[in-house]
Chain A
Amino acid sequence: MNLPRAHLLIVAAALLAAVAGFLVFRDAPPAAPTQQAVTLLPEPRPLPAFTLLDQHGAPIDEQALTGRWQLMFFGFTHCPDICPMTLQTLAAVRGRFDGPDQPGVVFVSIDPARDGPEMLGDYLAYYDPDIIGITGAEAAVAAFARALGVAVVMGEADAHGHYAVDHTTAVFLVDPQGRLAGLFRLPHRVDAMARDLERLLGARG
């Protein structure tokens, strides 16, 4: 009679531990609230000056990126795997905010030879028509990317004339004064990015 009772006690203790563990972990926050996704620059610095084209074919310069926080990244439309993921993530971050707090999203094509304004416009509108698309003369886009420290390596064209473009995966954070304030490295998570932006909006206000 003693043995089964001991077993019963062990089972009960294990159950209790499991329930306690469940309760503790269920109530634990998914991540420490102090954890940051953004790497802020010690001092924001002005964006390199540029004159390029937006997706409507109109000239655009660094002044267009003032007035709100902006999430800017570099990509190309012949990139069906990772670029859509980033665009979706940034569009979702944007969707977490309303009104003047809503950050802008800026997509700079590092493949302007293939990504003319019309192509870029159709591509971006699919994700969010308010995304600002930037393209233009190849040399001017390359100079802007270089000035931001964006490594761009044009792949060699294959027999079909197709080439890929290696590029940085960082998302650049531009403050409402149009200055480069920091960057988000991979992985890009909607929750973490939105939380950091919320904190920055709070600090400013």
Chain B
Amino acid sequence: MNRALAAALAALALLLAGCAPSPDDGVLIEDAWVREAPPGARALAGYLQLRNRSDAPLALLFANSDAFDRIELHQTLHDDGRMRMVEVDHVPLPPGETVVFAPGGLHLMLFAPRAPLQDGDAVMIELTFSDGTARDLRFEVRDVRDRR
């Protein structure tokens, strides 16, 4: 009986280990989403969180997608009561840190969607990192309007 239990536990442990992301996975990406935009909008914004789990500095270099004409890495800056969006060449990902792309700050600037995008849709965006790896990532389109 005890042996059967031990075997079952061992199997469970193996299963759990298989599900968990491996620790040397490089960059962990979470909460990737695109803000649903008004119909006809020519530019959308994408957000995500990137955690560099390696010991080495990394950087996000590019984003590409068949769903858009082109994508730029943007940062919204506020200074002196003014707002401006600037393109950044790359986004540094220091080891052990999480870099957050969120409204009012870093965003993927998504130009000219090829098809209308609505809440619940998903788009694939490929991210290229400084270590030469690329990841194809699913971004969920979300309507984040305040519904009263």
B57, CB-defined interface residue at 8 Å: no
A-B CB contact pairs (8 Å), 29 listed = A77-B42, A78-B42, A78-B43, A79-B43, A80-B110, A81-B76, A81-B85, A81-B103, A81-B107, A82-B103, A84-B37, A85-B104, A119-B40, A123-B38, A125-B38, A126-B37, A126-B39, A153-B84, A155-B84, A158-B87, A160-B111, A166-B82, A166-B83, A168-B82, A169-B81, A169-B82, A169-B83, A185-B81, A186-B78
Q: Which residues of B lie under 8 Å from residue A186 when comparing CB positions?
A: 78, 81
- Closest A residue by C-beta to B36: A126
Residues from chain A with Cβ under 8 Å of B41 in the complex:
77, 80, 123
CA distance in complex: A158, B44 (Å): 18
For chain B, residues 66 to 85, give those with C-beta under 8 angstroms from any C-beta of chain A: 69-70, 74, 76, 78, 81-85
Q: Which residue of B lies closest to A83 (CB)?
A: B83
| Residue B63, interface by CB 8 Å | no
Known: A84-B103, A124-B38, A158-B87. 18 other contacts (CB 8 A): A79-B85, A80-B35, A80-B45, A80-B107, A82-B76, A82-B85, A82-B103, A84-B35, A92-B148, A95-B148, A123-B38, A123-B41, A126-B145, A160-B70, A162-B111, A168-B83, A170-B81, A190-B146
Does A62 sit within 8 A of B, measured CB to CB?
no
Q: Please indicate the chain A residues that have their CB under 8 angstroms from the CB of B58 in the complex.
A: none
Q: How far is the CB of A150 from chain B (nearest CB, A)?
A: 9
Q: Is A167 an interface residue (CB 8 A)?
A: yes
Q: How many A residues have CB within 8 A of the partner chain?
A: 35
Task: Give B124 Cβ to nearest chain A Cβ, in Å.
Answer: 19
A16 sits at the interface (CB 8 A): no
- B40 adjacent to A123 (CB under 8 Å): yes
Does B109 have its Cβ within 8 Å of any Cβ on chain A?
A: yes
Query: Do most interface residues of chain B lie in helix, strand or loop, or is the interface mixed?
Result: strand
Whether a CB of chain B sits under 8 angstroms from the CB of A138 is no
Among A149-167, those with CB < 8 Å from B are 151, 153, 155, 158, 160, 162, 164, 166-167
State whether B109 touches A80 (Cβ < 8 A). yes
Contact indicator per residue, chain B 99-141, by CB within 8 Å of chain A (1) or not (0): 0000110010111000000000000000000000000000000
Q: Which secondary structure dominates where chain A touches chain B?
A: mixed
Interface pair B44/A80, CB less than 8 Å apart: yes
CA distance A79 to B38 in the complex (A): 12
A130 within 8 A of B: no
**Which residues of chain B in 12-38 are interfacial with respect to chain A, using CB atoms and an 8 Å cutoff?**
35, 37-38
In the bound assembly, the distance between CA atoms of A92 and B145 in angstroms comes to 9
Q: Which residues in B have their C-beta under 8 angstroms from that of A79?
A: 43, 85
The residue that B83 contacts in the complex, of A126, A158, A167, with Cβ under 8 A, is A167
In the assembled complex, how far is the CB of residue B109 from the closest CB belonging to chain A, in whole angstroms? 7
Contact partner, A127, options B85, B107, B145, Cβ 8 Å: B145
Give chain A nearest CB distance to B57 CB in angstroms.
26
Shortest Cβ distance from A84 into chain B, in angstroms?
Answer: 6
Would A88 and B145 count as touching, CB distance under 8 A?
A: yes
Distance between Cα atoms of A131 and B90 in the complex (Å): 37
Chain B residue numbers with a CB within 8 Å of A170 are 81
Mark A116-130 against chain B: 1 for CB-CB distance below 8 A, else 0: 000100111111000
User: Is A80's CB under 8 angstroms from B37's CB?
Assistant: yes
CB-nearest residue of chain B to A151: B82
